[in-house]
Structure formats: C-alpha cells, structure tokens
C-alpha cells in the first residue's frame, strides 16, 4: 500500500469521524436539553450498557477480517460468509447477556425498553462493521466514510422528528436504529456493487477455528477496553441514580468529543512505526517523540481552556439544569491529556509485537478503574467517577509509555524542553482566560484564547511553522509519516 493511499484513507476517516463527532455532539446536546437530567441519564445508560456487551458481538473478528482480506482479496466472499455465520451465534449470546444483566440490575421499565432497542442497534452496527472491514481489506475507506456521516444524519433527522412530535424517550434510541439500518443497507450495497462480494452465511469448521484462534487477543483487549469505558455509568446508575449518569454523561460527552484526533494520528503513524521497528530505530524514536509532541500541543490548551470555562460552557450548551456536571468535566479534561498521549505509546507497543503488554496494561487499568469507581462513586457520585477516569487514563498512559520509551529510546532532553514550552504557552493562555472571563462573552473568550495560545506557542518555539507543515502533510498532501519525519 503506497504512502499516499495510506494518508488518503486516513484523511477519509479523519474527515468522517470529525463530522460524525460534531453531529453526534450537537444531537446529544439537543437531546439533553429536551429530556432533562434523568432522561439523559437513561439514554446514556442504555448506550453504555449495550456498548459494554458489543464486544461479544464481534470478539475482534472485524480486525482479523481486514487483515485476511488484504492478504487474499479473492477469498473475501468466503471469509465474510464465515464471519457472518459466527456472528449469528455471537449475536444470540450478546442479546441474551444484555437481557439477563439488565433485569438483574433492576432498571425501570422505560430504561429496559431503551436497552432492548439499543441491543438491536448493537446487532446492526456489528453487521455493517464487518462489511466495512471487507472494504478496509480492499484498502478503500471512502464508502465507510460516507456511511459514517450519512448514518449520523439519518439518526439526527429521525431523532429531531420524534422530539418535535413529543414521542416517549425510548424513541430517541429508535432514532439510532434508523442510522444503523441505513449503514447496513449502504454497506451491503457498496460491498456488492463495488467489490462484487455478496453477503452469504457459512460456518466452515476449519475456518471457524482459525478465526476464533486469531481473534482471541483482539477480543481480550476489546473486552477490557469496553468494560473500562462503560462500567462507570453502570455503577453510577446503581450506586447513586440514573440522574447522576446524566450529569456524568454530559461531562464525558464534552471531554471525549475530541478522541478522533489521537485515533487519526495513530492510524497515520502505525505503518511507519511497524516499518521502523525493523529497519530504523532512530527514526522510530523520532516518530514516537514527534507524535507525542503534536498531541500535547493540541490537548494541553484544549484541556486547560475547557476546564477553566466549564461552568459557562455547560450552562450555554446544556442549560443550568446540568450545572452539577462542571466539576466532573474539569476532572475529565485533565484525564483527556493522558488519554491523548496513550495512543502513540499503545501504537508503538502493537507495532513492535508487544500487543500482549498492551492487553495486560488494559486489563490492569480496567480492574483498577473498577475498584476506584466502587470506592469513590458512593461518596462522591459523578465526581468520583471522573476521578476514577483520571486515575485510569493516567495508569493506561504510564503502563504503555514506560515500555514504549524503553523500546524507542527517544532523546529525553528535547522532549522535556518542548513540554515546558507548550506548558508555558498554555499558562499564558490560561491567564488570558481568567482575566477575560468576568468581562467578555464566551465566544470572544474562546477566540481570544486560541489567538493567545497560538502566538505564545510560536513565540516560545513550542512548535514551528516547519513542524506545522509536516503535520499538515501527514493528513493533507499525500505523504506518509515515513516521507516527512
């Protein structure tokens, strides 16, 4: 695969995920303002519970399918048919597990209805996931990018109609069903028309054993990741209330709306890291160091700015009913720094055949996060969940970064100097925000903060124009990391 094609595909998904995240955030904002704290809590809870079990509906099969189709494209039809055969079994297990757990937890009838509909959304999402996996194997991500955005538009359109007609709360999850149905229809059409792969169902014993064996590490990592990202909402719902989930969900939605940025950069640097681990350790260290710097340049002012303006942002976006989300959001913005910086470290571990280390780090983070949530949520509610998220993301970053630094051996002094310059520019920006907050409108403060930080970080040489051009080239001019670092 050429560097240009890698970046073109990355650009497709970066644009699609950015658009999808923006649309999703706007839709969630409308929903939260319309249904209030408790309604938001039930909505967020239904999605969190089904998200946690969604790994059972896939167990890493999509990742394996991408790799195997890329190796032998002419076997795509047979590979897809056997994955769909396995999926039928996995869907049955997943739906049964969700049904049993949701009833054991004793949720209200309206919440149970929402969870049931969300579980159907999970099945549909699991279906188009493997269709898009085949297209990734053919190294064409354009159709997936179109589906991601258009599916979100379908969801928003249906949701806004249901809100306008004052339909009951569960219909907001039904709106998700519309988006998922569209993605299944679009992906199945695209895979047949463009790649001549018709959906079929098979269950060859030898191929089934092969898929289960290869998918096991992906499944394990997926389980740890999904439980880690969802368990806080479930514990909040049982140890405090569903309204507490709504408060926490608002802060979580704002903080992690930006996760597509490190994910896209990780997608761009992963092929180069895999190559340099074998051929050039010096350039591996440079890619690792540079990616950490780029992400820190973005996340440091983002975290500081939103944390300082958290109360005004929440009031402006969600309304004063969600004022209690201010403190959780401020803590979650600190945790976002470590969530960003984990991605280059995790990518390096996977690229250097240390995926078992990465999986072990995820396992430790999941169990630690669960225990911290269990200890703090009964006493501090959403704030306790946010503190647990901060501890979890810090542990995840350190657990991956320590072995990653040992592998790459980047020069520490330049990294330290860069970090100090970026932090100094962030402090300058923070001073502007604090000074302007009592006298200026919110939009003016945000615009001024962006200008202040940009001027400060260039003045301090925390980043240079040459580095900005390099970053733009990674995503915008057909170059791969290997061409420019």
Share of the chain above pLDDT 90, in %: 22
| Mean pLDDT, range 217-231, rounded to an integer | 73
Q: Distance between terminal CA atoms of the chain? A: 19
pLDDT at 467: 67
Give the C-alpha separation, 143 to 159, whole Å: 24
Confidence band, pLDDT 50/70/90 cuts, at residue 472? low
Residues in the chain: 485
**Which residues neighbour 397 within 8 Å (Cβ) at sequence distance 6 or greater?**
338, 339, 341, 342, 345
Segments making up each domain of the chain, as ranges: 1-203, 231-485
Q: What is the residue whose two structure tokens read 């079990």?
A: 53
Show the tokens assigned to 364: 């430790």
Give the C-alpha separation, 234 to 369, whole Å: 13
pLDDT digits (tens, 9 = 90+) for 57-112: 777 777 777 767 766 777 777 878 888 888 888 888 888 988 888 888 888 888 88
pLDDT at 326: 92
pLDDT at 380: 92
**Out of 14-18, 158-162, 295-299, 338-342, which region has the weakest mean confidence (pLDDT)?**
14-18
Q: What is the mean pLDDT of the chain?
A: 82
Share of the chain above pLDDT 70, in %: 88
What letters, b where the CB count within 10 A reaches 16 and e where it falls short, cover 331-359? Answer: bbbbbbbbbbbbbbbbbbbbbbebbebbb
| Mean pLDDT, range 124-149, rounded to an integer | 80
pLDDT at 111: 86
- 8 A C-beta contact, residue 236 and residue 114: no
pLDDT digits (tens, 9 = 90+) for 300-312: 999 999 999 999 9
Confidence band, pLDDT 50/70/90 cuts, at residue 23? confident
SS (H, E, C) the chain: CCHHHHHHHHHHHHHHHHHHHHHHHHHHHHHHHHHHHHHHHHHHHHHHHHHHHHHHHCCCHHHHHHHHHHHCHHHHHHHHHHHHHHHHHHHHHHHHHHHHHHHHCCCCHHHHHHHHHHHHHHHHHHHHHHHHHHHHHCCCCHHHHHHHHHHHHHHHHHHHHHHHCCCCCCHHHHHHHHHHHHHHHHHHHHHHHHHCCCCCCCCCHHHHHHHHHHHHHHHHHHHHHHHHHHHHHHHHHHHCCHHHHHHHHHHHHHHHHHCHHHHHHHHHHHHHHHHHHHHCHHHHHHHHHHHHHHHHHHHHHHHHHHHHCHHHHHHHHCCHHHHHHHHHHHHHHHHHHHHHHHHHHHHHHHHCCCHHHHHHHHHHHHHHHHHHHHHHHHHHCHHHHHHHHHHHHHHHHHHHHHHHHHHHCCCHHHHHHHHHHHHHHHHHHHHHHHHHCCCCCHHHHHHHHHHHHHHHHHHCCCCCHHHHHHHHHHHHCCCCHHHHC
Give the C-alpha separation, 403 to 360, whole Å: 12
pLDDT at 484: 40
Q: Is the pLDDT of residue 369 over 70?
A: yes
Q: Is the pLDDT of residue 329 over 90?
A: yes
Q: Is the pLDDT of residue 218 over 70?
A: no
Closest CA to 87 of 63, 68, 69, 62: 62
Give the C-alpha separation, 132 to 108, whole Å: 36
Closest CA to 287 of 480, 38, 65: 480
Show the tokens assigned to 75: 């076997």
Q: Is 138 exposed, middle or buried (0-12, 13-18, 19+ CB in 10 A)?
A: middle
Show the tokens assigned to 30: 């409308």
User: Any idea what the Cα angle at residue 338 is, between residues 471 and 133, rounded to 5°?
Assistant: 65
């Amino acid at each position: 695969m050429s560097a240009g094609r890698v970046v073109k595909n990355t650009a497709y998904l970066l644009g699609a995920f950015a658009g999808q995240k923006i649309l999703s955030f706007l839709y969630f904002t409308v929903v939260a303002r319309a249904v209030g704290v408790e309604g938001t809590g039930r909505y967020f809870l239904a999605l969190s519970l089904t998200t946690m079990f969604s790994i059972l509906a896939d167990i890493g099969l999509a990742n394996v399918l991408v790799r195997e189709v890329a190796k032998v494209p002419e076997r795509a039809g047979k590979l897809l048919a056997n994955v769909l055969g396995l999926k039928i079994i996995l869907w049955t297990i997943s739906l049964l597990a969700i049904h049993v757990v949701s009833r054991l937890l004793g949720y209200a009838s309206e919440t149970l209805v929402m969870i049931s509909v969300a579980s159907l959304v999970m099945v549909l999402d699991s279906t188009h996931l493997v269709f898009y996996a085949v297209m990734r194997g053919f190294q064409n991500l354009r159709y997936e990018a179109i589906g991601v955005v258009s599916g979100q538009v379908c969801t928003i359109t249906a949701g806004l109609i249901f809100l306008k007609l004052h339909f009951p709360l569960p219909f907001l999850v039904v709106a998700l069903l519309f988006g998922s149905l569209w993605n299944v229809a679009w992906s199945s059409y695209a895979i047949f028309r463009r790649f001549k792969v018709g959906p079929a169902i098979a269950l060859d014993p030898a191929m089934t054993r092969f898929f289960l064996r290869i998918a096991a590490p992906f499944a394990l990592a997926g389980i740890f990741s999904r439980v880690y990202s969802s368990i806080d909402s479930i514990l909040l719902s049982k140890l405090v209330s569903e309204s507490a989930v709504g408060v926490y969900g608002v802060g979580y939605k704002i903080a992690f709306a930006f996760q597509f940025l490190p994910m896209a950069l990780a997608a761009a640097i992963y092929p180069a890291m895999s190559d340099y681990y074998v051929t050039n350790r010096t350039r591996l260290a440079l890619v690792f160091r540079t990616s950490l710097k780029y992400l820190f340049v973005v996340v440091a002012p983002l975290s500081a700015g939103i944390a300082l303006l958290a109360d005004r942002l929440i009031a402006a976006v969600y309304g004063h009913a969600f004022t209690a989300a201010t403190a959780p959001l401020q803590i979650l913005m600190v945790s976002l720094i470590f969530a960003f910086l984990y991605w280059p470290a995790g990518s390096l571990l996977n690229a250097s055949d240390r995926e078992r280390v990465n999986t072990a780090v995820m396992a430790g983070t999941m169990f630690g996060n669960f225990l911290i949530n269990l200890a703090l949520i009964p006493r501090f509610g959403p704030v306790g969940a946010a503190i647990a998220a901060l501890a979890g993301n810090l542990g995840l970053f350190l657990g991956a970064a320590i072995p990653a630094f040992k592998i790459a051996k980047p020069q520490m002094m330049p990294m330290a100097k860069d970090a100090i310059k970026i932090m100094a520019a962030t402090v300058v920006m923070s001073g502007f925000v604090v000074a302007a907050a009592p006298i200026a409108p919110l939009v003016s403060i945000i615009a001024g903060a962006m200008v202040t930080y940009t001027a400060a970080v260039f003045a301090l040489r925390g980043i240079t124009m040459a580095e900005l051009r390099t970053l733009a080239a990674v995503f915008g001019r057909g170059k791969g990391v290997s061409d420019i670092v």
